[in-house]
A and B are shown apart, each in its own frame.
Chain A
């Protein structure tokens, strides 16, 4: 009866949710005089151990903590691969670029993926993609050929980004979990909106949009593409008739507001999981909540480091899960 209900895991997650950063804490962080005060406040909250780590080290450690906890709670961690495919494809991009320029570039790989960055690098270096997972082989080869023969990094990125979205969508929908499926849908839909808007603003042609847009249930990519090739208002008109009508205002404000809107949308959709004691969904929601707070802390610290006004930092901060 209790099989696949993740009762133990969810009870632990309930307790862990108490330690998630909330809005009052971010207000405190924002009120800190400088970057160092922020690090001190974070250290009091248990972020960072020695007090001498850099912000990136602290954030990386927090991500590690999340995945350590999840691997304790869930026997087969591959159920959360939907969240990690993005890192794999990022590493693929980095490896292709590194091989192309033939130089050692430090800290370009993300450690948390479904496969080790070294395997990806070796595959690219040897031009033997058979060691990569099936969903990466075709796009890795295509992106490699484009990068090596034409030097067109943008096209290389487009090929990999499209494969990322297709993989997230396919695996998310096939996961059998409602939250993972919804995450995949929102991730692909928001990426498509982003591509359409940027495509319009940079005057991209139909071929580019056809190559970049990934299909999903909530967006008709053909109509979106037509709108993006027409005029800005056409994109807004199309969006007004979709479930993403709220996005129009955010897009009009600024690209960063739109990015914030996309992240907030996911957080709002997963928030009901705070009250769900069964299934995999609350654990998945916790992972997303942790990623969201790590992203928000990074934005805030980066703002403080660069002496940005509090109002500018505030408008970039994401909504919190708790």
Chain B
């Protein structure tokens, strides 16, 4: 049964990358649709709307980071991949904040980005303010990233 530890740990890493990646792909896609709509009429807004489109893409990067750290810690990348079931499960739990928050925050951030792209379409000079709204959603993705990093490094130090 102990050999299943690595399965759970790997599953956690995969979920962190997978869910955050899916969320970001949906989010960047939504932002892209809105950005393309604006560019059709006002090509000069390209730089501004591109930034807003990319904001929901960060969750995918955070997910990748968590997956990479986890894979390194559990020894799948360059090391021995053996651990107890309990430890593997703890790694799995440590990855969940990034996986779940990453997915939902990317989609919610995308909705705000789309709304902000609408603001930029009408009032390009309000770009600075428009960017703050989707950036606020980023806070919670960063918090989840921190919790996952702390948990993964903490679990590594546990002798179970």
Which of B26, B30, B38 is within 8 Å of A15, CB to CB?
Answer: B38
Interchain CA distance A45-B37 in the complex, whole Å: 22
Q: Would you call the interface of chain B mostly helix, strand, loop, or mixed?
A: helix
Complex interface: chain A residues within 8 A of B41 (CB): 12, 15-16
B125 vs chain A, min Cβ distance (A) = 13
The docked-state distance in angstroms from the alpha carbon of A18 to that of B114 is 18
A202 to B66, CA, bound (A): 78
Contact between B122 and A14 (Cβ–Cβ < 8 Å)?
yes
Asked whether A11 and B118 contact (CB < 8 A) given A1-B107, A16-B41, the answer is: yes
Tell me, yes or no, whether A35 is within 8 Å of chain B by CB: no
Please judge, given known A-B contacts A8-B33, A8-B36, whether A15 and B115 are in contact too, CB under 8 Å: no
Known A2-B26, A277-B114: A7·B37 in contact at CB below 8 Å: yes
Pair A11/B35 contact, Cβ less than 8 Å:
yes
Does B80 belong to the interface (CB within 8 Å)? no
Known: A15-B121, A15-B122, A278-B114. A10 touches B30 (CB 8 A): no
In B1-55, which residues have CB < 8 Å from any A CB? Answer: 26, 29-30, 33-38, 40-42
Interface of A is mostly: helix
**B141 at the A/B interface (Cβ < 8 Å)?**
no
Q: Is the CB of B34 within 8 A of A8?
A: yes
Q: How many of chain B's residues have a CB under 8 angstroms from any CB in A?
A: 20
Does A152 have its Cβ within 8 Å of any Cβ on chain B?
A: no
Query: Number of A residues contacting the other chain (C-beta, 8 Å)?
Result: 18
Q: Does A17 contact B (CB under 8 A)?
A: yes
Question: Could you name 24 residue pairs across A and B whose Cβ atoms are closer than 8 Å?
Answer: A1-B29, A2-B29, A5-B30, A7-B30, A7-B33, A7-B34, A7-B114, A8-B33, A8-B37, A11-B36, A11-B37, A11-B38, A11-B118, A11-B121, A12-B38, A13-B37, A14-B121, A15-B37, A15-B40, A15-B41, A15-B42, A15-B122, A18-B121, A275-B118
Other than the given A5-B30, A11-B34, A277-B117, 10 more pairs (CB < 8 A) read A1-B26, A1-B107, A8-B33, A10-B34, A11-B33, A11-B114, A11-B118, A15-B41, A15-B122, A278-B114
